[in-house]
Structure 1
Amino acid sequence: MNKKMNLRVLTLNIWLAPRDQQKRDALLLKGLEEHDADIVFLQEVVRTPERDAFQLVKENSSLHWHHASDFARHASDFADFEWPLWGTAVGTRWEPKSITTHKLPAADGPYVWEAVLSLPIGVDMLFLGPRPSFNFTDEAARVEQALFVTELEEKRRQEAPTIIAGDFDAAPDQDCMRFYTGKSAINGRSAAFRDTWAIAGDGGPGYTWTTDNPWVARSVTDGQGIVPNYVVQEPHHRRIDYVLAGSTVNHLTVESVINSSKVVFNEYPTASDHYGVLAEIELNALDKPTAWA
């Protein structure tokens, strides 16, 4: 059995808005095929009679796909609003040994995916895909959710380094991301996940939600921007989408090296208001634990 492999992980918020739907769907499928990731985590995946983005990617991909709704309550609870039914989707090269979601602490129904995968190098890996609270004022909730996610990871981690990916709606200097990446402790607890972009990005800021993207900009030529001044003021640039990898210290029987981390889906015309992140991680299953043990 080959004990080495390169694992490719992609996260992208595909944007629930129907604007230029057919063009954006085509760009989405083209990008998914080109990047050929082993694990894909998509957010804002609409499922309505008019647009079923989940079915679209499922029918045009060889990955194993699973979907969950962002709403913990029945859709009729939102009858007074023109909300589409949307959620998240996880696609994996290998059929998960187990896959489920857990509710995160908060009233707005966020959750986290938990999937255990058997890799072709003979070890299992845990994937976690959080869908945290998204408002600018929700950082306290995101911190509580980060505590929940890392506690879940401690209980469920496997031999290969855990992967946590998604749209975290938080910049690297915010409390929840500082906690995830070991830069600060919260309530006497700490974690140490590797931010793949910080380690193996191109040295730039890695913005994934920015007014450089015409879909985000308040004033663009087609008048279809989504960010008026009451949300943010132009210019606005944030890195809020991440692929995180578990600490080597917690996975002594599988060496891991982050070879690359790229901002993707960022060429105009863009498929979404977000750019994505694609990370490639080299894994080597060892016959015995490293010297850390």
Structure 2
Amino acid sequence: MILPLHRNRDRPRLIRLGMRLRILTLNVWNDEGDPRRLDRINRELRTLAPDLVALQEVIQTTERNQLDVLLDGTGLHGTHQARLTAVAPPYAERYGGSAVATRWPHQVVEMLDLRQSDALDVPWCSLAVTVPIPGEGKLLFIAATAAWRLDAEAARERQAVALTDLDARHRQALPTIIAGDFNASPDAASIRFLTGLQSIGGRSVRYHDAWAVAGKGPGHTWTADNPNAKSGIDQIVRQPDYRRRFDYVFVGSWHAHPKAHCHIETAALAFDHPADGIWASDHFGVVVDVEVGNG
């Protein structure tokens, strides 16, 4: 369990420290399941008090505005991909889109449509925003997602490479943070590429997987232990005991940010238990505390 965040203003500053940040990613699961889920997510967002939030499958139409419900009373500044596109991609009305929320007002620097010829049913774009971190400077935060089909790893590989190019185009001095639902387990090529364990097309990068650094246990986020996920697992996987870690927080490494740091302090699951009998989503979230600064 992660306790409410105590920022560095609450602790002695005998030496210069960076800013403590809390990052959260959650697949909201559009409007499936119990209609009370959004209020449950909103209540927990208020308790967790994250600073950087990546949300997937958030429905935003003229009739339905899930992002405002999710962020109500949190103090977070939110942007949904629907606000940045003239035409919604196919399936967006049914399966939603990506959204980002930040403690401090952010600037959108790019929205990346990651649909591929072999993954056209992916209405979720990736959003890159710069966020001013008080006393430290700007940080690039990318709210990402990837192709969902089990046999779409080739598309996910190309999407992972495209995300690293997105980072390179807008990288700041502070380490980039990428968070989202990647629909791939840690042994998949796309995730191995992001964590520096293998190359793709003669290219390699290195990001820290926050769970691998500070998480405990397997960290499964799409699992048969979640009743909301069971129907999807039964339909898509057709193996009753399926459990995988699909949701990640990645942190840029020294190689790309030699004059700054982002120390991963804790990583834990969020929304992984029912409240009043309500499960928040078909995914569990991931919440990560870091300390970020120059030097």
Aligned partner of 1:125 in structure 2 is 139
Is residue 2:102 matched to residue 1:89?
no
- Aligned ranges 1:260-275 → 2 under 5 Å: 260-268=266-274, 269-275=278-284
TM normalised by structure 2 equals 0.85
User: What's the Cα RMSD here?
Assistant: 2.5
Q: Does 1:43 align with 2:52?
A: no
Query: 1:130 offset after TM fit, Å?
Result: 1.9
CA deviation digits over 1:18-71, x for unaligned, max 9?
A: 32112x122101110111100011111123566431121243321111001499
Q: Equivalent residue for 1:163?
A: 177
Kept after mapping to 1: 8 A contact 2:98/2:143 = no
Structure with greater Cα Rg = 1
Structure 1 window deviating more from structure 2 (117-126 vs 178-187): it is 117-126
Paired residues of 2:60 and 2:80 also in contact (CA < 8 A): no
- Structure 1 residues 208-259: Cα deviation after superposition (integer angstroms, max 9, x where no partner): 0000001112xxxxxxx34325533101100000000000232122222100
2:237 pairs, out of 227, 231, 251, with 231
8 Å contact kept, 1:3–1:121: no
Question: In structure 2, what is the equivalent of residue 25 of structure 1?
Answer: 38
Pairwise mapping of residues 120-269 of structure 1 onto structure 2 (< 5 A)?
120-202=134-216, 204-217=217-230, 225-268=231-274, 269=278
Which residue identity lines up with residue 114 of structure 1 in the other structure?
A
Long gaps (5+) in structure 1: 218-224, 287-293
Contact persistence 1:25–1:271 (CA under 8 A): yes
CA distance in structure 2 between the aligned counterparts of 1:243 and 1:159, rounded to whole angstroms: 19
Cα distance in 1 for residues equivalent to 2:181 and 2:236: 22
* Equivalenced residues, count: 274
Change (3 A) 1:229 1:119: closer
Q: Which residue pairs with 2:4 in the alignment?
A: none
Are the counterparts in 2 of residues 98 and 117 from structure 1 also a CA contact under 8 Å? no
Supply the distance in 2 between the matched residues of 1:182 and 1:83 (Cα, whole angstroms): 36
Identity among equivalent positions (%) equals 35
Contact 1:9 1:39 in 2 (8 A): yes
Contact 1:70 1:110 in 2 (8 A): no
2:293 to 281, 284, 292: 284
Secondary structure at the counterpart of residue 21 of structure 1: coil
Q: CA deviation at 1:197?
A: 0.3
1:170 positional shift: 0.5
> Do the aligned partners of 1:181 and 1:192 also contact (CA within 8 Å) in 2?
yes
116-125 or 83-92, which deviates more: 83-92
Q: Which residue type is aligned with residue 25 of structure 1? A: L
Structure 2 residues not aligned, in runs of 5+: 1-8, 10-15
Pick aligned residue for 1:11 from 20, 25, 29: 25
Q: TM-score, normalised by structure 1?
A: 0.86
Using the TM superposition, give the Cα deviation of residue 16 of structure 1 relative to its aligned residue in structure 2, in angstroms. 1.4
